[in-house]
Amino acid sequence: MKIIADRQTLNHWMNGCAKEGERVGFVPTMGALHAGHLSLVREARKQCRRTIVSIFVNPTQFGPGEDFGHYPRTFEADRDLLEKAGCDAIFLPEVETIYPPGGQTVVAVEPLGSQLCGAARPGHFQGVATVVMILFNLVRPQVAYFGLKDYQQYTLIRQMVRDLAMPLEVVGVPTVRERDGLALSSRNRYLTEAERLQASALFRAMNRAQDHYRKGESDPRQLEQSAREVLLESGIDRIDYVAVREAETLQERECIETPPVILIAVRVGKARLIDNMVLSLY
């Protein structure tokens, strides 16, 4: 497995793949890898001849007072996991490699980028869209893989790729969960044992909404309320949002007509946890 830090080596490696006609799958990450990331690598390996993973803790997607400084950096463990997973290359750039001095351009996907998590984290999705655009331009993959756990991020990247006619395919990979339903996340390590137990309420809350939807409830506000009750019963009262939106576009609707997704963001201890579930009738 090759470890690439600079643009020139990356270019050389990618040109080699292109010359051989090899389809390249790309998994952008911020490291602190877990089974969720590895499922993205597995999917990339199934569909592509070569797989490259980037590890870059992107400063521009963290707001003031957020966890940029404390975000877990576990490169040795990440490298071992990726080696075992059969990844071909890691792109491990420094900040200046991604953002050379003098840069002036950003990518904004609006209004989606200011809603939901974007309302609680101003500038976050502009940072995400900008870094993903730069990574796509540097790596030039045929396919890029994103976890559906970050559903708004996935929707926003797809929108950006469509709007800017970018020549690649974006694939969403299902969320990997613990036995009690908690979605795997690098931030789960911020939870104490008691908070970890409490966090399983997110999955129960989404399932409560799913049950109500199957029983015929089509008012998004009622579905949101049913999930909110489960969170409050479990002692989770720092709720950023519980939202039922159209699954394809994340648009708000008065009444559900197309498949909906429920999205939740809460704070438990030091962690901000997000999760989602596309609701189905069967």
Catalytic residues: 37
- Residue nearer to ligand PAF on the CB measure, 28 or 118: 28
Residues 96-125 touching ligand PAF, rule: CB under 6 A, are: none
Check residue 275 for interaction with ligand PAF (CB under 6 A): no
Residue with tokens 């059969």: 86
In angstroms, give the least distance from the CB of 168 to ligand PAF: 14
Least distance from C-beta 60 to ligand PAF, angstroms? 9
Nearest residue (CB) to ligand PAF, 58 versus 276: 58
Here's the x/- map for ligand PAF, 151-170, by CB under 6 A: it reads as: --x-----------------
Minimum CB separation of residue 153 from ligand PAF in Å reads 6
CB-nearer residue toward ligand PAF: 132 or 230: 132
Decide if residue 150 touches ligand PAF (CB under 6 A). Answer: yes
Please give the size of the binding site for ligand PAF, defined by CB under 6 A: 10
141 is an interface residue for ligand PAF by CB under 6 A = no
Q: Between residue 7 and residue 66, which ones bind ligand PAF under the rule CB under 6 A?
A: 28-30, 58, 61
Least CB distance from residue 58 to ligand PAF, whole Å? Answer: 4
Chain residues binding ligand PAF by CB under 6 A are 28-30, 58, 61, 128, 131-132, 150, 153
